[in-house]
Amino acid sequence: MLVIHGGPGLSHHYLYPLTALSASRQLIFYDQLDAGSSEWPNDPKNWNVPRYLAEIDALRSHLGLDSLIMFGNSWGGTIAAAYAARRPPGLTKLILSGPLIDTRRWALRACLASGDTSSEAFAAATDLFYRRHLCRRDPWPDFVAATFEPRLFNKRCYEGMWGPTEFISTGVLRDYNGSAELASIDVPTLLTCGEFDEATPDTTRRDLDVMRFAAAIPGAEVVVFPNASHMTFVEVPESYLSVVRGFVEAAPETAPAAAVAVAGERRAVGRGLLNGASPCTWSTGGGFYAYPFTAYWNATSGDYGWEARIVAPSQAVVGTSSGRRRRRRRGEETRGREAVTGVGALRFGGAADVYDRPYAEVLDPAVEVGWAAWLVPPEVRPDPQRRGEWTSRAFVGTRVSTASHTFCGCQSMRGDAAAFRLTEHGRASGDIPPRPARVPWYANLTRREISAQIRATCAALARRTSCPEDNETAYAEWASGRDNGTYWRLPPWVEVYSSLPV
């Protein structure tokens, strides 16, 4: 494992806790040019990302590193990510710890672009910032303090490349943005950061920057460490090393699923979450259904479905153009249909022979079969405000076997390592084109064709709809009667699942 330190201009000493990983593999620490124990020519011509990438090539050639894992912290993450985006031969995994990817999204660059940086007040503010967002251990360990000693810390390089302090960038990197290159990374990637990390400067935001960067890397995994900041491996070494060991020692997957997790509750979520079956134990439908009923999720194909037995049809709630509710009469939508023979009505297997078989039979009217297709797929991420919880937002279209409508609307989920709640809101309804009498709308359609019809029906609405930020806003909008006048709105629909899909 090649370990790349931050800075620029720092030494590798603060990364000492990572030496515990050497029990299972060789670790290589080095000091970059103009840093630590390496030479300090202090030539500004050397202070650019391409030269530091060339330094990696020279190091690999000199040491014969044909195969390696790369670890980069902070500015070291800048180098590691840019290097990995070149898809170099022999790179097997990548770990980015609080990486600098986009200077515009780092700390408080715009807050103090000018002024006296030599005053005592400024020094005090800088010290406070460092102890809150750089390293929260008090006092700092000797190996961290040593990194900032004049003999190891090249301040001239740091200021020339970055600026006078962590939250002001006036140097070469002031306009750096490597986010466009992230999609080119093709190796398993782990991104880590602390809850109070300067790499995620505003912890009150709903979307952490590191999460945004991870979303751009195919198959990336993110772990956020509570009560830690930029030097997570110093502040919570046992948790950090456990996560890194698990990632490094895991067998590579042929098609890794994007995942995020909260340290200490390492149940991965993301695309990998929404694959499998999970039981619904309650919904807005109330006594209309028998619980639990099963939902089947397939994030790979971008759709899901459910099969629920109807026990009290008279209790069904349906929206109307005036926003009022009415009761569905028994048999109103299913009159004259025969029960389906055989099993596997949902056909959520993912294989072509499953998705491309038409529904030749009429489904049992006492069972609601539902089909759903995501037009905007769920973006699942940890909730920075509620430790151990995750959220997602999406836009979805649905149809059911017992009605002749397509429902389109915003969808949100909230859950933890054990269960989750799904809410659909802002839903519009459009009639499915009629078919001959006694012929259900799904007759002779395949699962793939149903999904295609749903997406075609909801596409225009998905493009122009602004989804509510949260469930509370959704309910408030519905209760106030807000509508764009082009479709009738249904009350928000909620489903509760007692376990994650398995």
| DSSP category for residue 99 | -
Q: CA 375: distance to chain centroid?
A: 17
Omega prior to 313 cis, within 30 of 0:
no
Gap between the Cα atoms of 213 and 102, Å rounded: 9
Q: Is 49 helix (H, G, I), strand (E, B) or coil?
A: helix
Structure tokens that stand for 477 in this block = 């909008």
Establish whether 74 is a catalytic residue: yes
Find, among 194, 210, 231, 228, the residue nearest to 73 by Cα.
231
| DSSP category for residue 245 | H
Structure tokens that stand for 105 in this block = 């999204």
Gap between the Cα atoms of 71 and 65, Å rounded: 14
Structure tokens that stand for 225 in this block = 């460490």
* Tokens 């491309």 sit on residue: 356
Gap between the Cα atoms of 354 and 375, Å rounded: 21
The residues, any chain, with a CB within 8 Å of residue 113's CB and separated by 6 or more, are: 168, 170
| DSSP category for residue 73 | E
How many other β-carbons are positioned within 10 Å of the β-carbon of residue 124? 10
Task: List alpha helices for 151-231, DSSP H.
Answer: 155-161, 209-215
| CA atoms lying within 13 Å on the CB side of residue 431 | 6
| DSSP category for residue 263 | T
Catalytic residue among 12, 230, 405, 425: 230
Establish whether 12 is a catalytic residue: no
Catalytic residue among 31, 197, 209, 364: 197
Establish whether 197 is a catalytic residue: yes
Gap between the Cα atoms of 363 and 278, Å rounded: 22
Amino acid letter, residue 230: H
Gap between the Cα atoms of 141 and 56, Å rounded: 29
Q: Which residues form the catalytic set?
A: 74, 197, 230
